[in-house]
């Protein structure tokens, strides 16, 4: 580590063109960020920096020393990822970690993002901060696709959000990038799970936790930190909140104004950094898990039941193509089978595979999502299966399934992805006052749509129920009165051997006249 490193403040490193400033640049638009970072480190603020701090801190006083947690709730195009990378680079290169690491122990600065693409974006910025500076580049020992190792047993790593990736590490800092949009189908609280996992790893080193994100719904870790700590003189936690215009005054305001006209709630979150008030959880994960038959991954075909199928088709490039099969037992909808083909795939091949499953359950027609491509019905027809577009939208299917989910009268399969997708559905109130159910931003619901679509399309009675009820309710013929049978016989007339004139075989058919 260089001799100057331990005495260099974060604002000095970011402004120095020989250090982090070599990649950050000298634009004055970074001044609000630099003032906030100075406040997070407990440095004295100038008059202009204090004005900027007061504009974003909710009326609290600046911290007197470096905080343990910094949460920045900001709008789109505000430089979040670059600041996250700058913080990770500063902590790695300029802070004194002597005495925090045992001999041979590696200290990690971990940057977690919502997706691999976002993680690679932050990683690219980190590499630029080191490689753009002739001084900082001397600290690099090795560079891989996801990690930069520096002298002094320091490593900067980027990963997608997972509470499993942080365990077993000694963390000098952790950066949560776009934490409001973290999704994990194994849990409905991925942000909180990761937060709980990093706290012990940061406690031994006194490391800094940084969360930088645009806001989303009024739930989750970011919202909890804003609710509990924004505007409060907390010595350990600093929460700031500001719109895009504050951090990026060069943004084209016409774009923001148009977004407000198109969708006010979405624009308020994306550009004004306000949590959305039109979103709520559709159904709690505990409710969904109560409907799961533990250990049952697929049910065999049984002759006494009538099975139905629902398909969520896909072109094979981006979304999964899914199939669900279900039947009814009394008042309970039972999911028997789910199939998912993840992209990329050839749609015709997947249709053939799905049709073989349908044949197993003696199903000759499948109901499906109103997919735009005409190939869907043609592909199924070639396999001898009729494809019928559903009369209900996926939102209507989800709404109709809620009573069965809440009442526990639905039997689901033990499928983690299915449970996760149902749990991550959210209810959005449109401007017309109607509720729309859809997946969260960044999540998917292909498997959920096929499974709940199948369950909600099962008939009211299955074959077993119909046969059972028929034995006790045989149709009864009611005659008008007691003489009905006699009158019916009289109308029928005599039999063919009657001697009455005009009856019997015609004379030319008489055997006696043929001689």
Q: Categorize the per-residue pLDDT at 508 as very low, low, confident or very high, splitting at 50, 70 and 90.
A: very low
159 contacts 50 by C-beta, under 8 angstroms: no
Three-state secondary structure readout of 82-103? HHHHHHHHHHHHHCCCCCCCCC
Structure confidence at residue 201 as a pLDDT band (50, 70, 90): confident
Each residue's pLDDT tens digit, 264-284: 888 898 999 999 877 778 888
DSSP 379-398: HHHHTT-EEEE-SS-HHHHH
What distance in Å separates the CA atoms of residue 297 and residue 308, rounded to the nearest whole number? 18
The encoded tokens of residue 417 equal 């992805």
* pLDDT score at 163: 65
Please, which pLDDT band fits residue 158 given cuts at 50, 70 and 90?
Answer: confident
The yes-or-no verdict on residue 297 having pLDDT over 70 is yes
User: What's residue 97's pLDDT?
Assistant: 82
Give the least confident one: 9-18, 431-440, 460-469. Answer: 460-469
The β-bridge relationship of strands 435-439 and 425-429 is antiparallel
Confidence (pLDDT) at 188: 62
Confidence at residue 375, expressed as pLDDT on a 0 to 100 scale = 85
What distance in Å separates the CA atoms of residue 464 and residue 507, rounded to the nearest whole number? 57
Q: Which residue has the tokens 């009864």?
A: 476
Q: Is the pLDDT of residue 477 over 60?
A: no
- Average pLDDT of the residues in 307-336: 93
pLDDT value at residue 329: 93
Give me 449's structure tokens: 């749509």
For the cut 80, the answer to whether the pLDDT of residue 496 exceeds it is no
Residue 37 confidence (pLDDT): 95
Under a CB-based contact definition with an 8 Å cutoff, are residues 318 and 343 in contact? yes
Residue 356 token pair: 């073989």
Least confident of 73-77, 94-98, 348-352: 94-98
**Mean pLDDT score of the chain:** 84
CB-based contacts of 484, cutoff 8 Å, min separation 6 = none
pLDDT at 514: 40
Convert the pLDDT of each residue in 96-147 to its tens digit.
Answer: 887 788 888 888 898 888 777 888 888 899 999 999 999 999 999 999 888 8
CA distances from 263 to 256, 276, 308 (A): 11, 11, 38
In the predicted model, is pLDDT for residue 252 greater than 80? yes
- 323-337 pLDDT, tens per residue? 999 999 998 999 999
CATH match for 285-456 among 2.120.10.70, 3.30.420.240, 3.40.630.40, 3.20.20.70? 3.30.420.240
pLDDT at position 5 is 52
Task: Specify the fold of 5-270.
Answer: Rossmann fold (3.40.50)
Report the distance separating Cα 378 and Cα 105, nearest Å: 61
435: pLDDT strictly greater than 60 = yes
Q: Give the pLDDT band of residue 185 (cuts 50, 70, 90).
A: low
228 by Cβ neighbours in 10 Å (0-12 / 13-18 / 19+) ranks as exposed
Which sequence spans correspond to the domains of the chain? 5-270, 285-456
């Amino acid at each position: 580590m260089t001799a100057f490193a331990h005495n260099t403040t974060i604002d000095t490193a970011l402004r120095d063109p020989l250090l982090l400033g070599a990649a950050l640049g000298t634009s004055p638009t970074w001044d609000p960020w630099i003032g906030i970072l100075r406040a997070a480190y407990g440095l004295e603020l100038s008059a202009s920096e204090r004005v900027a701090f007061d504009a974003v801190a909710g009326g609290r006083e600046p911290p007197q020393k470096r905080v343990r947690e910094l949460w920045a709730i900001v709008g789109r195009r505000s430089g979040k990822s670059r600041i996250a990378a700058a913080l990770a680079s500063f902590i790695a290169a300029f802070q004194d970690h002597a005495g925090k690491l045992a001999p041979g122990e590696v200290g990690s600065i971990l940057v977690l993002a919502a997706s691999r693409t976002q993680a690679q974006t932050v990683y690219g910025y980190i590499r630029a901060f080191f490689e753009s500076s002739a001084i900082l580049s001397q600290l690099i020992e090795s560079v891989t696709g996801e990690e930069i190792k520096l002298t002094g047993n320091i490593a900067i790593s980027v990963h997608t959000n997972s509470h499993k990736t942080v365990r077993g590490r000694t963390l000098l800092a952790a950066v949560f990038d776009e934490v409001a949009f973290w999704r994990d189908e194994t849990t409905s609280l991925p942000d909180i799970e990761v937060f709980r996992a990093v706290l012990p790893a940061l406690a031994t080193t006194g490391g800094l936790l940084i969360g930088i994100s645009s806001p989303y719904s009024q739930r989750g870790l970011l919202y909890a930190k804003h609710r509990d700590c924004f505007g409060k003189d907390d010595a350990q936690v600093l929460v700031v909140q500001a719109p895009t215009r504050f951090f990026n005054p060069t943004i084209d305001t016409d774009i923001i104004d148009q977004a407000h006209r198109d969708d006010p709630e979405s624009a308020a979150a994306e550009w004004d950094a306000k949590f959305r008030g039109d979103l709520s959880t559709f159904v709690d994960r505990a409710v969904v898990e109560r409907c799961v038959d533990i250990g049952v991954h697929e049910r065999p075909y049984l002759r006494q039941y009538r099975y139905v199928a629902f398909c969520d088709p896909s072109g094979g490039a981006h979304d999964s193509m899914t199939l669900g099969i279900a039947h009814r037992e009394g008042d309970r909808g039972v999911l028997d089978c789910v199939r998912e083909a993840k992209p990329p795939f050839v749609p015709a091949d997947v249709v053939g595979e799905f049709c073989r499953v349908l044949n197993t359950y003696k199903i000759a027609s499948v109901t499906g999502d109103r997919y735009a491509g005409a190939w869907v019905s043609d592909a199924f027809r070639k396999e001898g299966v009729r494809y019928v577009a559903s009369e209900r939208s996926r939102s209507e299917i989800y709404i109709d399934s809620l009573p069965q989910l809440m009442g526990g009268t639905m039997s689901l399969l033990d499928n983690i992805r299915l449970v996760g997708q149902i749990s991550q559905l959210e209810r959005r109130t449109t401007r017309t006052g109607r509720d729309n159910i859809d997946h969260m931003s960044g999540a998917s619901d292909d498997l959920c749509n096929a499974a709940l679509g199948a369950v909600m399309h099962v008939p009211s009675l299955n074959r077993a129920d119909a046969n059972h009820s028929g034995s006790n309710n045989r149709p009864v013929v009611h005659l008008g009165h007691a003489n009905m049978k006699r009158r019916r016989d009289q109308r029928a007339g005599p039999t063919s051997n009657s001697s009455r004139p005009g009856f019997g075989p015609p004379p030319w058919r008489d055997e006696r006249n043929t001689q």
